[in-house]
Structure 1
């Protein structure tokens, strides 16, 4: 019976469910430095009848420290699962069955990208993220000492929680952005090849069926809400059946193997389902000239998955009674800033913009006599970056507390992550055949999207809000905006890859970027840097 219960718990966790008790509710609570070590001044927290905390702080440090404390009180296990899933350390919590997921996510490297991102953030952002982490850790220490950790830890035979860090918050933020923007080309490539090969046997054009009918990239109806948004008709760019000549059988075998590995991993489900599966998010704004009181109206319905506990954590944050900050809305557990909401003067909303910001590459790999690995690009050998890895597992069910040990040797558990510097991590490789598949993604670099939300929270006018768009590097969103001055606006923001062939107005060998591309330099499929625009 106990094993059945543990298995059921693990299934619930992987689906995003928690059995923690709901947050405590009350009329008001004054948090003093004695109660929450690290506070510089007293902080008032009012919890309303539906459990939403309203924080009244006298400085930013205390505001975010208390935000971390409250989120940990209410959502600690959820936060821990999210950071571990994105970091590739979930097996240290849930046990050996999570190892395949750990390998897949650690290979992609969202946590590596989070480490790159921390030093490029402004000092005030890093300080506020550290204050938030300190608040989380105060709660963890108090809960461990009092034996009040969420019950999931007891069921998993764990008596402690790893301290929260700034990189953890950045990793959680990247995990959310990843789920909204990562777009693998596996399904498109395999489907295209299947249609071309199948229809060739009866003399039909499988490429035309794929591109013009089944996977057509044009709207079903020519409806639009922005004038001239469809001024240029959808173009396909010369995609054709002879693009098959660019795929060798070994690449296709590796691609099929990768698909089998990730298809049942919830972390990759949005990427495999494609943008159509995320359809439905919406927002609308009515200008003040069309309302009774002269102020704009805004509504937002972001279609994120329903889970328990919820994706969102609602909160109200004030500094100096709203003089320095007065923002209310929803955060992601693990991140201190309001992501969607309003302050006293501005409000904002968001939906996903499904940009193509991911490319997969077919690579040629070589090894020298010393065993060093190289990729082949433009006929030259380029060293592959090797990052040693050690995976650990929690031996749940053996009756020992905190029995987290190194994973036993397994050919499916690599000892290192391999990265092709000009592209990204290798996700599948057959060294004997000299073939590999790599992935390049805008989220793999030093990015500042968390800074965007700090800017939004404080924006007092349209220009200040627009300044926040400049740091939203990946996650590709459509933003709605309205303010008390009567302004309404619509923006799209994210970094978009510039591809060699597309920038020159053609598709090299008819292989578009939404199927696997050439990584050897034979074709003009590389991302290019924009210098001195």
Structure 2
């Protein structure tokens, strides 16, 4: 029995050494002075015993630029992985196996929407995004050859970030947190099985939100009749990569009930705490006009969940109707058209390009064109 124990002990030593080595390889400068073009005044970054950055700046623009820099310093590979996933480029790292997922994300079109919405941002919002990304890109430029170990293992290099990239990451977060696409698919399955009238008893179908019908009291049927929906799961297969157990909560303890005689605000957005690194990045932003400590998604400026000297804030899933599902009818005579009333209309065709990691390709990537059909909806 001694040999297995010795092997286990040796394995633990090697694991500890490996973790220590990886930490060393990723340990970028956390002390000293660095010139960061674009700052209007000196900025100081203090890190606590756990490595969390507290940024002291003269205004919010300098603060979020430094936030972008330290976030990239700590989480650049996580940011890159999320961006590749959100923009339909994950096959550039994972190869042929990720091709279906890349096509799916190109079809959903987070990046297409981000390009449209970036042009609609208010000037101040755009300025904050850009300053944050200036910080991210400054770190990437500073380390043009010396990237995090994860990049070397994955065989990829980081590229500069744009506002469209950040918006696409935000839309991915919203997509993962939404649930009504699932319920619309289930509602459609109920309509097909039971008909509209009976389906309305389970899922009321209000076309006009201002017309809320009065509730009707009905007696439950005495006999249970299986609906057979378990046989019609093909639509839900499209959602197989979506997280389960969606939900979130906020709650407050009044000052009269807390040990410190101060109110306590708790926020649980139900993000996966098993992820390493975690889905949120903690940071403190301190300026003469603004003081806040909290977390945000790596790739987004500011603080989404946190506190100031006056208020604590967070977000919870309100299950808003943020997704709509439409059933389009293909023209049986022409698959490049769909039926709208009594008309046959052409799909809008968008051509996307995939770069699929392929060792046999001359430059390590195989290029593939994908046509995506769109309707005005």
**TM-score normalised by structure 2 residue count:** 0.76
Counterpart of 1:278 (choices 246, 251, 258) is 246
Which residue number in structure 2 is paired with residue 183 of structure 1?
180
* In 2, Cα distance between equivalents of 1:316 and 1:40: 19
* In 2, Cα distance between equivalents of 1:30 and 1:40: 19
Which residue number in structure 2 is paired with residue 155 of structure 1?
153
Instruction: Label 1:51 to 1:293 Cα distance change in 2 as closer, same or farther (>3 A).
Output: closer
* In 1, Cα distance between equivalents of 2:325 and 2:259: 52
* In 2, Cα distance between equivalents of 1:348 and 1:379: 51
Alignment pair present for 1:300 and 2:267 = yes
SS in 2 for 1:65: helix
Which residue number in structure 2 is paired with residue 57 of structure 1?
57
Instruction: Label 1:187 to 1:44 Cα distance change in 2 as closer, same or farther (>3 A).
Output: same
SS in 1 for 2:272: coil
1:287 deviates by 4.2
Alignment pair present for 1:378 and 2:341 = yes
Could you give the per-residue CA deviations for residues 155-200 of structure 1, whole angstroms, max 9, x where no partner exists?
A: 2333x3121111111111111111111533475158637975xxxx
Structure 2 residues not aligned, in runs of 5+? 1-20, 205-213, 219-226
Could you give the per-residue CA deviations for residues 110-145 of structure 1, whole angstroms, max 9, x where no partner exists?
A: 111111211221111111211111111111122223
1:282 deviates by 2.2
1:102 deviates by 0.7
Q: Is the 8 A contact 2:96 2:357 kept in 1?
A: yes
1:313 deviates by 0.5
* In 1, Cα distance between equivalents of 2:158 and 2:39: 22
Moved more, 91-100 or 356-365: 356-365
Instruction: Label 1:234 to 1:132 Cα distance change in 2 as closer, same or farther (>3 A).
Output: farther
SS in 2 for 1:358: coil
Which residue number in structure 2 is paired with residue 420 of structure 1?
375
Instruction: Label 1:20 to 1:349 Cα distance change in 2 as closer, same or farther (>3 A).
Output: farther
**Within-5 A mapping of 1:33-44:** 34=35, 36-44=36-44
Which residue number in structure 2 is paired with residue 364 of structure 1?
329
Instruction: Label 1:182 to 1:107 Cα distance change in 2 as closer, same or farther (>3 A).
Output: farther
Which residue number in structure 2 is paired with residue 111 of structure 1?
111
CA RMSD, aligned part only? 3.7
Instruction: Label 1:117 to 1:187 Cα distance change in 2 as closer, same or farther (>3 A).
Output: closer
Could you give the per-residue CA deviations for residues 386-441 of structure 1, whole angstroms, max 9, x where no partner exists?
A: 11111111225x698x723313xxxxxx62221111x2xxxxxxxxxxxxxxxxxx
SS in 1 for 2:169: helix
Instruction: Label 1:137 to 1:381 Cα distance change in 2 as closer, same or farther (>3 A).
Output: same
Instruction: Label 1:376 to 1:339 Cα distance change in 2 as closer, same or farther (>3 A).
Output: same
* In 2, Cα distance between equivalents of 1:55 and 1:416: 46
* In 1, Cα distance between equivalents of 2:252 and 2:238: 43
Counterpart of 2:364 (choices 396, 403, 421) is 403
Instruction: Label 1:378 to 1:190 Cα distance change in 2 as closer, same or farther (>3 A).
Output: closer
Aligned residues: 335
* In 2, Cα distance between equivalents of 1:399 and 1:362: 39
**Within-5 A mapping of 1:58-207:** 58-145=58-145, 147=146, 149-158=147-156, 160-185=157-182, 188=186, 192=190
**Within-5 A mapping of 1:210-221:** none
Could you give the per-residue CA deviations for residues 73-114 of structure 1, whole angstroms, max 9, x where no partner exists?
A: 111111011111111011112212111001111101111111
* In 1, Cα distance between equivalents of 2:28 and 2:352: 43
Q: Is the 8 A contact 2:272 2:279 kept in 1?
A: yes
Instruction: Label 1:25 to 1:81 Cα distance change in 2 as closer, same or farther (>3 A).
Output: closer
Counterpart of 2:280 (choices 312, 315, 327) is 312
Q: Is the 8 A contact 2:179 2:319 kept in 1?
A: no
Which residue number in structure 2 is paired with residue 350 of structure 1?
315
Instruction: Label 1:83 to 1:182 Cα distance change in 2 as closer, same or farther (>3 A).
Output: farther
Which residue number in structure 1 is paired with residue 303 of structure 2?
338
Which residue number in structure 1 is paired with residue 17 of structure 2?
none
Instruction: Label 1:91 to 1:338 Cα distance change in 2 as closer, same or farther (>3 A).
Output: same
1:301 deviates by 2.1
1:293 deviates by 7.3
Q: Is the 8 A contact 2:92 2:356 kept in 1?
A: yes
1:342 deviates by 1.1
Which residue number in structure 2 is paired with residue 11 of structure 1?
none
Q: Is the 8 A contact 1:283 1:351 kept in 2?
A: yes
SS in 1 for 2:144: helix
Q: Is the 8 A contact 1:25 1:51 kept in 2?
A: no
1:326 deviates by 0.6
**Within-5 A mapping of 1:500-519:** none
**Within-5 A mapping of 1:8-27:** 21=23
Instruction: Label 1:353 to 1:365 Cα distance change in 2 as closer, same or farther (>3 A).
Output: same
* In 2, Cα distance between equivalents of 1:189 and 1:358: 14
* In 2, Cα distance between equivalents of 1:182 and 1:404: 35
